[in-house]
């Protein structure tokens, strides 16, 4: 390209120094200028087109990989959701146990039933975000031309997933507090007295409420992930 510009620039100077009439010189100079402008414009357009084509190729590869990541994330969130459903059921059962007197009383059958429901599972969703973070940090998110798709992706990764993590951390902290109390419990204290204590009742109530919040969060995240996949496949 540089050679062409140099070539036609020399022709302009040559035309200016020629013995042709002034009108002919002007026509020759204007022609060479027009050729240079056209060549530069074409070169810029071709470069932009090539760069855009490369960006779209990268965006397409990213979205293909993102679809695979989201499919795995959906499976992970569905598995974690099922665990929360079980925990919620157990907590509701324990929550339903009426308050008892503080004096120890032995009820082996009741303690056995309580023990079967006194189950903890600290779940943490670890989504596949490496591909997204890499694409975003390189400033390439804007190369996704589908604005609807781009917005859905940003909302999912910037808002929805952090909310999932926050909810999981909170219910895990509730379970951890209950575990700590269980470890510290006097071995002679029947489980029915332990579970019906004010402190445990408060934690059970918190757990049941927040399990519901987390289930709604999983449903929302799974629906958003599926919507992104559908948009990619259009």
Structural domain spans, the chain:
70-233
Render pLDDT for 87-96 as a digit per residue (tens, 0 to 9). Answer: 999 999 999 9
Residue 27 has pLDDT above 80, yes or no: no
Q: Both ends of the chain: CA-CA distance in Å? A: 40
Residue 26 has pLDDT above 70, yes or no: no
In angstroms, the CA 105 to CA 36 distance is 99
- The confidence score (pLDDT) of residue 7 equals 53
In angstroms, the CA 79 to CA 65 distance is 22
Q: How confident is the model at residue 97 (pLDDT cuts 50, 70, 90)?
A: confident
Render pLDDT for 72-85 as a digit per residue (tens, 0 to 9). Answer: 999 999 999 999 99
- The confidence score (pLDDT) of residue 142 equals 86
For 123, the enclosing helix (H) or strand (E) is: none
Q: Which of 87, 81, 80, 82 is nearest to 118 (CA)?
A: 87
What angle, rounded to 10 degrees, do the helices at 22-95 and 130-137 form? 150
pTM: 0.76
Token pair for residue 114? 């309580």
- The confidence score (pLDDT) of residue 221 equals 98
Classify 44 as helix, strand or coil: helix
Classify 59 as helix, strand or coil: helix
Q: How confident is the model at residue 15 (pLDDT cuts 50, 70, 90)?
A: very low
In angstroms, the CA 141 to CA 150 distance is 7
Residue 53 has pLDDT above 70, yes or no: yes
- The confidence score (pLDDT) of residue 19 equals 52
Residue 117 has pLDDT above 70, yes or no: yes
Residue 10 has pLDDT above 70, yes or no: no
- For the chain, percent of residues with pLDDT exceeding 70: 74
In angstroms, the CA 40 to CA 46 distance is 10
* Listed ranges 112-116, 194-198, 216-220; the one with the highest mean pLDDT: 216-220
Q: Which of 39, 198, 215, 67 is nearest to 131 (CA)?
A: 67
- The confidence score (pLDDT) of residue 42 equals 62
**Number of separate helices (H) and strands (E) present in the chain:** 8, 0
* Listed ranges 2-6, 97-101, 216-220, 230-234; the one with the highest mean pLDDT: 216-220
In angstroms, the CA 68 to CA 78 distance is 16
Q: 35 vs 93, which has greater pLDDT?
A: 93
Q: 195 vs 27, which has greater pLDDT?
A: 195
């Amino acid at each position: 390209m540089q050679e062409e510009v140099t070539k036609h620039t020399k022709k302009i100077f040559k035309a200016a120094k020629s013995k042709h009439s002034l009108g002919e010189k002007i026509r020759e100079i204007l022609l060479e200028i027009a050729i240079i402008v056209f060549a530069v414009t074409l070169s810029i357009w071709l470069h932009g087109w090539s760069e855009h084509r490369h960006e779209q190729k990268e965006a397409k590869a990213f979205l293909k990989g993102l679809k695979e990541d989201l499919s795995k994330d959906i499976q992970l969130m569905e598995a974690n959701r099922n665990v929360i459903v079980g925990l919620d059921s157990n907590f509701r059962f324990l929550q339903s146990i009426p308050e008892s007197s503080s004096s120890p009383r032995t009820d082996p059958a009741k303690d056995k039933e309580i023990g079967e429901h006194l189950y903890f599972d600290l779940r943490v969703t670890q989504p596949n975000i490496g591909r997204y973070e890499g694409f975003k940090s390189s400033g390439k998110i804007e190369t996704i031309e589908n604005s609807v798709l781009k917005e859905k992706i940003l909302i999912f990764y910037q808002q929805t997933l952090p909310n999932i993590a926050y909810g999981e951390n909170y219910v895990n902290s509730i379970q951890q507090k209950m575990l700590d109390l269980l470890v510290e419990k006097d071995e002679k204290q029947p489980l029915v007295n332990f579970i019906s204590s004010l402190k445990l009742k408060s934690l059970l109530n918190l757990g049941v409420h927040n399990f519901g919040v987390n289930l709604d969060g999983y449903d929302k995240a799974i629906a958003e992930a599926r919507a992104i996949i559908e948009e990619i496949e259009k």
